[in-house]
Amino acid sequence: MSKLLNCLINKDISCVPIWFMRQAGRYLPEFKQLRSQNPNFLKLCLNSDLSSEITLQPMKRFNLDAAIIFSDILVIPYALRQPMEFGHKYGPRNSKLNINKFLETTEKSFLSTLQPIYKAISKTKKILNKDKPLIAFVGAPWTLMIYLYNLKEQDKLNKKISIIDKNEIKLVLKKLDEFLKIHIINQKQAGADIIQIFDSWAGLIENEDLDEYCYQPNKSLINFCRENKIPSICFPKGLKENYKKFLEEVKPDAINIDYNVDPSWAKNSFGNICIQGGMKPEILLKDEKTVLQEVEKYLDIFRDNPYIFNLGHGILPKTNPGIIKKIVDRVNLVKK
């Protein structure tokens, strides 16, 4: 069993596996070159050969313990026939939710759109070393709904949600749950070893709505993963002290903490679950000494807890690949 899976499933603490969110992408010069030749981001994600090549780029540079397929959580709304746009200034957004097209999308149409992702996973898995698992991922229903309705651009999010028909929201969440499971199982069948679920906008949910919009939707996906023997990692970013309640309700195999979570509190509050990440991506832009001191802090705090080294969010575009190598080399020295 690979180092990462041993930590994730068996709660092994003899070493610390390492990988990074957004390790395949925007900070690498080889990626920037490919991206300059492929300006349409969604088309790039749906190009099997290039997606596989990008996924493998950091694996060739660094001794990482896992690859993560180059894709995006918004391929799901796109495959549900919503015109997702990726702009440099405003980020990803949906011009306007077409609820009829969304609800009428068939499984056949959905899978046809996403087939290149499954091909990329299959191709990548054949090339990867046997001891390097391949991580695939999805966005959680709430986070995808934020993009479908362009809610992250609203100053008064909860007021905006309150004027959307409640029955429509239930239909949207139900459709997302159904088709996320289809995407999860097809990624698994293509060769993915682990699924990470990103609830990137969980921190926007009011406490009284967390069960409906965060805990139960994530729990449904995690139960599906468990039934299909797929190891799982959840990243409900921004939940603060509600991370603990999330774990009690959802019960994933591992939890990724964000950079606003006190790692000592997480270790002392979560029990013997595998914890991943936490370090602030901006730290990597500082001098080497400061970066490695922060690395040591996380390694020390989690020295007797199952821990996967990662960040509290994705690698930033201005990050020097050289500092990634320094971190990887340091973490790979850990033997407990």
Domains of the chain, earliest start first: 3-331 (3.20.20.210)
Give CA–CA dist 233/255, Å, rounded.
6
Q: Indicate whether 245 pLDDT > 70.
A: yes
| Confidence band for 166, pLDDT divided at 50, 70 and 90 | confident
**Amino acid letter for position 174:** K
Please report the pLDDT score of residue 162 as a whole number. 65
Give the mean model confidence (pLDDT) for residues 280-298.
98
Average pLDDT over residues 250-254: 98
Give the three-state DSSP class for 113: helix
Q: What is the mean pLDDT of residues 284-307?
A: 97
Task: Determine the pLDDT at residue 24.
Answer: 95
**Does the pLDDT at position 318 exceed 80?**
yes
Task: State what percent of residues in the chain have pLDDT above 90.
Answer: 86
Report the distance separating Cα 310 and Cα 257, nearest Å: 9
- Reported as a single tens digit per residue, the pLDDT across 30-51 is 999 999 999 999 999 999 999 9
Q: What is the pLDDT of residues 85-126, one digit of tens each?
A: 776 655 676 778 899 999 999 999 999 999 999 999 999 999
pLDDT at 155: 52
Report the DSSP pairing between strands 91-94 and 84-87: antiparallel
The residues pairing with 94 across neighbouring beta strands, listed in sequence order, are 84
pTM: 0.95
Query: How many C-alpha atoms does 259 have within 13 Å on its Cβ side?
Result: 14
Q: What is the spatial distance between Cα 323 and Cα 96, in angstroms, rounded to a whole number?
A: 41
In this predicted structure, what is the pLDDT of residue 58? 98
For the chain, how far is it from start to end, CA to CA, in angstroms? 18
Average the pLDDT over 162-191 and give the result.
Answer: 92
Please give the distance of CA 75 from its chain centroid, rounded to a whole number: 13
61-70, 148-157, 223-232: segment of lowest average pLDDT: 148-157
**Phi-psi category of 71—alpha, beta or left, where left has phi over 0 and alpha has psi -120 to 50?**
beta
Which residue from 282, 269, 281 is spatially nearest to 240, judged by alpha carbons? 269
Q: For residue 8, what pLDDT is reported? A: 96
With beta carbons less than 8 A apart as the criterion, state whether 307 and 275 touch.
yes
